[in-house]
Amino acid sequence: MRNSILLLVVAGFAMFLYTAFSQYQVPEVPNATADYYLTNEPSELGAANVVTAIVVTYRGLDTLGEVTVLFLTATIIGFMLSHSLPANQQVKIPSTSEILVTASRVLIPGSIILGTYVFINGHLTPGGGFQGGAIIGTAMALMLLADPTKQLSKHLMHGVESLSGIFYVLIGLAGLIWAGGFLDTRFLPQGEMGQLLSAGAIPIIYSLIGLKVGAEISNIVSGVHQTEA
């Protein structure tokens, strides 16, 4: 009886979603805000990926807030983990499968290069700092999964994270001094659209975000790995 009611609710929700979905049309003309960004962004900022231009420059303060939220999360998780017992190193480590170890040797360098590519090319291709950082964090998780005895240097990770955060804010202040306002990326030359070194300070900011997110996620992963639950 209870299950059939649940099933009815789910089916009704599915019907509702289907009707909403089948009537969805990709609009021919973008709305006023989107139109503003699409027409003015190439001349104002010169980033080939308009989404990145919006995330890093037009809504730069939101991104700074987002990075701060992630930083607070990482800090709180680190605080919680530091109160649990450290892992006993004498415990015999279960052997990892040969397939995982061999595959990780190919996958880890590839993932790190892919992550770096994604955040350096954030202003040209889809993706950016957050996605690239997550890919790098995944590579670190894979490394710890394949070889549980490995340890990430906590000081290095904290150093990368803090330095990239500080430089992010400093670049924002540079925009305040030499360009229109806080986090205005136009104090560096705009360059030719589509080149790696173009769109002002956008690639620098997104690379810093990528390093910061990658270091934070790696820190969380290794923290979980090293402590006894």
Partner 1 sequence: MEKISLLILLVLSLIMVAAAVMAVLSKKLPTAILASGIISLFASVVFLILASPDVAMTEAAIGAGLTTFMFFIVLRKIERQNNEK
Q: Give the footprint of partner 1 on this chain (CB under 8 A).
A: 21-26, 49, 51-52, 91, 93-94, 118, 126-128, 130-131, 134-135, 137-138, 141-142, 144-145, 148, 217, 221, 224-225, 228-229
CB 208 within 8 A of CB 216: no
Closest separation in Å from C-beta 127 to partner 1 = 4
Residue 176 C-beta: closest distance to partner 1, Å: 27
Q: CA-CA distances (angstroms) from residue 18 to 10, 12, 45? A: 12, 10, 39
Which residue, 52 or 185, is less far from partner 1 as judged by CB?
Answer: 52
Q: Considering the complex, what minimum distance in angstroms separates the CB of residue 213 from partner 1?
A: 10
Residue pair 120/196 in contact (Cβ under 8 Å)? The answer is yes
Q: How far apart are CA 114 and CA 200, in angstroms?
A: 23
Secondary-structure percent of the chain, ordered helix, strand, coil, rounded to 5? 70, 0, 30
Tell me how far, at minimum, the Cβ of 225 lies from partner 1, in Å: 6
Burial 147-178 (b: 16+ CB within 10 A, else e): ebeeebeeeebeebbeebbebbeebbebbeee
Cβ proximity to partner 1: between 129 and 165 the closer is 129
- Smaller CB separation from partner 1, 5 or 24: 24
- Report the nearest approach of partner 1 to the CB of residue 2 (Å): 16
Is the Cβ of residue 107 or residue 163 nearer to partner 1 in the bound state? 107
Number of Cβ within 10 Å of residue 25's Cβ equals: 5
Q: Which of 204, 154, 137, 219 is nearest to 174 (CA)?
A: 204
Q: Least CB distance from residue 55 to partner 1, whole Å?
A: 8
CB of 38 to partner 1, least distance (A): 14
**35 or 178, CB closer to partner 1?**
35
Beta carbons of 161 and 137 less than 8 angstroms apart: no
The encoded tokens of residue 103 equal 């595959």
| Summary count for the chain: helices (H), strands (E) | 8, 0
Q: Which is nearer to partner 1, 4 or 22 (CB)?
A: 22
Closest CB to partner 1 among residues 188, 213: 213
